[in-house]
Amino acid sequence: MAQLTLEKVRKAYGDAVVIPEIDLDIRSGEFVCLVGPSGSGKSTLLRMIAGLEGITRGTVRVDGEDMTDVDPSDRDMGMVFQSYALYPHMTVRDNMSFALRMRKEDPKLIEERVAEAVEMLDLKGLEDRKPAALSGGQRQRVAMGRCIVRKPKLFLFDEPLSNLDAKLRTATRHQIRHLHDRLGATSIFVTHDQVEAMTMADRIALLNFGEIMQIGTPQELYLQPQNRFTAGFLGSPEMNFFEGTVSVGEGGFVLNGTASLFLPASAGRLAALREVVGTGRKVEIGVRPEHFDLAAEAGADTMSLPVAGLEWLGHEAFVFGHVDGREIGVRVATDASGASDLPKPGSPVQLRVVEDSWHMFDATSGDNLVVKSGA
Amino acid sequence: MATNSTRRRNALWRIGSLLPASLLLVALSIYPVFNLVGLSLSDVEWIDGRAHSEFIGFANFDQLFRHETVYWAGVRNTIIFAICAVTAQMIFGFSMALAARRASGVTRAVLTAVFLLPIVMPPIVIGAMWRLLLGRDFGAVNTLLGYVGIGPIDFLGNPDIALASVILVDIWHWTPFVFLLMLTGLESLDQEVFEAAKFDVRSPWQELRYVTIPLMVPTILITLGLRLVLSFKVFDEVYLLTGGGPGTSTEVINFSIYRTFFAQDRLGVGSAMSLLTLVAVAVLIVVVNLWIRKRRSKSQEATS
Amino acid sequence: MISRTTRKNLLGGHLVAWGYALIIIGPMFWILSNSFKRQIDILMGNTFSTPILTNYETLLFSRQSDFLMNLWNSAMIGVVSTVIVLVIATLAAFTIIRLEPPKWATALLLGWALVFHMLPTLTFVGSWYVMFSNMGLHGTYTALILTHVLHALPQTMFLMVGFLLNIPRELIQAARMDGCSYGQVFRRIVVPLSFGGMAAAGALAFIQSWSDFAISLNLSDQDTMTAPVAIATFAQEHQIRYGEMAAASVMSMIPALILILLGQRYVVRGLMAGAVK
Ligand SMILES: Nc1ncnc2c1ncn2[C@@H]1O[C@H](COP(=O)(O)OP(=O)(O)O)[C@@H](O)[C@H]1O
Ligand SMILES: [Mg+2]
């Protein structure tokens, strides 16, 4: 268990700046996910923490101790690679005990630790196999076992689930989180998959172009995204965005832009945002698919959406259509009777935004004006 | 602190691991070039098994350029040798690879094993072997020719055909190498291209001209360049087959250097020869390399 | 479906290839048969005669012949220089491709190695001769082994660079995280995982050393003379002893034959990789 601090960490390859400057605090015992689109610098950041990649500027501290210039072999961190990187010439047991043997630990202790990890990861009977004779899932567990036996200060994961099939991925997700809790470890988990991040993390750090867009609990990021990027990245189907200017209306705001949309608001939110929108600034309104209600008939507070497609998933369904060339997705509830009363492709549905469940982003800076104003 | 010692150890390893290779190359391949410069500008004599040299300026080069006719005959022969031998090897090797590329597993394995033989056997043995085979009075080749009524040919003793004989032996020696490279090249090509081409080409000749050869250009260029430069190394076989004779008819550069340096003990002139050859071949290497690189990027542009 | 013309072409192609194979094999059988003939039978051009072992016996066991020692010298120099060059080249290759030395260092090392590899060896031998003589090392095993190591170094280094590129970067990083210094990574991960490559590169290095003539001819003396140099001396004596020359040639081919029989895969892999780089 350890606490990690990054201070003004920067990474550049020559002129190419991958990470301009990052400050990050990870508490002892925390499970933090680094998420972001591909190429956003997640792996680079993780490898800088591990010491595998040089740091252009800044400081890495573990429990307050400066680790910036410490060799990776002395950092006491364990890492699970995307490709697992198991030593092909060693058996499962030798793979797992390698680090302890390199540290010249007592053979008895090594044996105990390996047995413990084998037990924990359900690898009994495979100890004498070489990696080539293991399935993908088994290899993945050996890779974790290799970290576990060491009881390192920090667990680092670089997309360790991306080579598994969907079903196994879900199971392993739970297993990793469970192991983390059981070992009381501190873990940093890199992934580009928002579901992994949402389900596993205590806190999520969302990266884009090497900058942290937002860091917080999954709930914070989902419910109170600080900016348009965060709002758009999390959630599937994606949040719907509408551009335009906003004026104050009866019991809410009215968006005038690509589409005309009524945004119901409570008195509190109305008051908080009245000044912000008064200047006639350009904004983007964000509404998640689940924050539309289907209205029985058209009205001043509804928007008409011609249904182009329908995705029925059992416990829910999504309706898709286009408004002014922009795709809109709406979640609709399904009842036990099945699909009979769902909207039909070809006919329009009337949408009403749920009160206070929408976001307003500054069109240029992308800041969430709702969160900012404290509403 | 322990952590610092790891860093220091790793830094040492990084330097130390390159050191043996670098030292060896510097001491035995870079220093000798400078040593040659020194020797070629000196009059060198052996006293008590040590070389003593006295600076004499460019006299050795003067001698080399004006009077060492044997060396210049060697230059001429080496160039003829390189061009003829390599051309023949490329043509034979490529056509055989084309012919054998669809061979089955066993056939391939046996062919490969046989074709490897000349490549891995000592060149001096090849020299010895062909000396026995090409002998005027008792060689197997003349025996065979005798059966069809062609009178004994003095392959190695006739100044008019001695160089051709040496070239023939080199073709025998290196065609298999070209063959194997071409075969590997052909087999690493995307076979689907050929299947697709079946619909477009009307004859095997067209397939060769418009599909196979353009795709093989990189392999052909590399093999050609490699063989061309390496054929300037020829020495062993000539040493045993003809010793440069008769006269200067099979004299090659390396043999001149050897004779001047070791048989005649004329270290100064020998060094000048070595240096001149070294620089000339080095220039050739660089030129061939650049040329291949240029042609290759061109052909890649064309195919991509 | 194979059309008739294709089949004809295929057959013709095979005939050409097998014909060439015959041209390769023929001379070898000829020299093999000559090694079992008396001098007189060879000179008379007799195709068939009762095989005798005299040539081999004379070569190996007679007082006047040093050939057994020549073979031993070749083997010893070959094995020692192969081991040394493998170690040196693998060390350098690992650092070059995975430990990020300065770019200029890599370019210089590999660039010069490439040029040196292609330069005629004879242009260096004279200089070595003078250097080793001045150091009192002429004719010693040291001189021969050092030059043979150097001779095989570029090719071995290129081959090992190629083979080590197949070891994933992440494997080495995993070992670093597991507490290995560079040296330990090399010993524990790189070496065990590149045995195949080392076998291929080693086979070629040994063949090169075993076959070398240009260097050994000029840097060896009576006691350190290698087999190829000895074979050449047969040809230079006043009365050429053809039978013994043939027998010696046959014996010098044995390592090559063994390598082809046991490790064809490695030899081909090494040759091809070496040529394409
Ligand atoms: N060695 C390198 N040299 C130059 N650019 C690099 C290097 N390694 C990574 N990058 C760049 O850094 C960026 C971040 O890469 P990475 O951390 O692997 O992204 P992620 O893991 O988030 O997909 C990418 O744009 C990549 O092109
Ligand atoms: Mg990544």
User: Domain spanning A4-232 has what CATH number?
Assistant: 3.40.50.300
Q: What's residue B25's pLDDT?
A: 95
Residue A338: pLDDT band with limits 50, 70, 90: low
When mean pLDDT is compared across A285-289, B51-55, B119-123, the lowest value belongs to: B51-55
Residue of A73, A97, A113, A151 to mutate, testing the C interface (most C Cβ within 10 Å of its Cβ): A73
Nearest to B303 by CA among B197, B216, B173: B216
C191 CB neighbour count, 10 Å cutoff: 17
The nearest CA of chain A is from the CA of C160 a distance in Å of 19
Q: What's residue C45's pLDDT?
A: 66
The nearest CA of chain C is from the CA of B80 a distance in Å of 17
Residue B73 domain flag: yes
Q: What's residue B302's pLDDT?
A: 61
Q: What's residue C2's pLDDT?
A: 47
Query: Domain locations in chain C?
Result: 2-34, 66-276
> Which distant-in-sequence residues (6+ apart) come within 8 Å of B298 by Cβ?
none
Q: How many domains does chain B have?
A: 1
Highest-pLDDT range among A212-216, B149-153, C263-267: A212-216
Residue B208 domain flag: yes
Q: What's residue C206's pLDDT?
A: 93
Q: What's residue A345's pLDDT?
A: 84
- Correct CATH for C66-276 of 1.10.3720.10, 3.40.50.2300, 1.10.630.10, 3.90.1150.10: 1.10.3720.10
Please give the Cα distance from A99 to A72 (Å, whole number).
12
Q: What does the pLDDT look like over C29-71, one tens digit per residue?
A: 888 888 888 877 777 766 677 778 888 888 888 888 888 999 9
pLDDT of residue C219 exceeding 80: yes
When mean pLDDT is compared across A193-197, B75-79, B145-149, the lowest value belongs to: B145-149
pLDDT of residue B167 exceeding 90: yes
Residue B202 domain flag: yes
pTM (2 decimals)?
A: 0.89
Residue of C177, C187, C188 to mutate, testing the A interface (most A Cβ within 10 Å of its Cβ): C177
Residue C236's alpha-carbon distances to C220, C231, C240, C242, in angstroms, are 17, 9, 7, 11
Read off the CATH number of the domain in which B155 is found: 1.10.3720.10
Q: What's residue A279's pLDDT?
A: 73
Q: What is the mean pLDDT of chain A?
A: 90
Q: What is the mean pLDDT of chain B?
A: 87
214-273 in C: which are within 8 Å (CB) of B?
A: 214, 217-218, 227-228, 231-232, 234-235, 242, 245-246, 248-249, 252-253, 256-257, 259-261, 264, 267-268, 271-272
In one-letter notation, the amino acid at residue A321 is: G
Q: Do C253 and B39 touch (CB under 8 A)?
A: no
When mean pLDDT is compared across A51-55, B188-192, C187-191, the lowest value belongs to: B188-192
**C11 → chain B, closest CA residue:** B99
Where in the sequence is the domain holding B74, given as residue range(s)? Answer: 68-252
Q: What's residue C277's pLDDT?
A: 47
Q: How far does the centroid of ligand 2 lie from the alpha carbon of residue A38, in Å?
A: 7
Across chain B, the runs of DSSP E, i.e. the strands, are 42-47, 50-55
Q: What does the pLDDT look like over A184-207, one tens digit per residue?
A: 889 999 999 999 999 999 999 999
| Rounded mean pLDDT, B165-169 | 95
pLDDT of residue C1 exceeding 70: no
Query: Domain locations in chain A?
Result: 4-232, 233-362
Q: What percent of chain A has pLDDT over 70?
A: 97
Residue A364's alpha-carbon distances to A207, A215, A221, B292, C277, in angstroms, are 19, 21, 20, 52, 53
Ligand 1 pocket by C-beta < 6 Å: which residues? A 13, 16, 18, 36, 38-44
Q: What does the pLDDT look like over A222-276, one tens digit per residue?
A: 999 999 999 999 998 899 999 888 888 888 898 887 678 899 999 888 888 888 8
Nearest to B234 by CA among C213, A343, A346: C213
Nearest to C155 by CA among C106, C114, C211: C114
The nearest CA of chain C is from the CA of B22 a distance in Å of 7
Please give the Cα distance from B20 to B223 (Å, whole number).
31
When mean pLDDT is compared across A270-274, B11-15, B105-109, the lowest value belongs to: B105-109
Closest ligand relative to A39 C-alpha: 1
pLDDT of residue C251 exceeding 70: yes
Residue B151 domain flag: yes
Q: Do A73 and B6 touch (CB under 8 A)?
A: yes
| Rounded mean pLDDT, C91-103 | 93
Assigned CATH topology for domain A233-362: OB fold (Dihydrolipoamide Acetyltransferase, E2P) (2.40.50)
Q: What's residue B46's pLDDT?
A: 82
When mean pLDDT is compared across A119-123, A160-164, A332-336, B173-177, the lowest value belongs to: A332-336
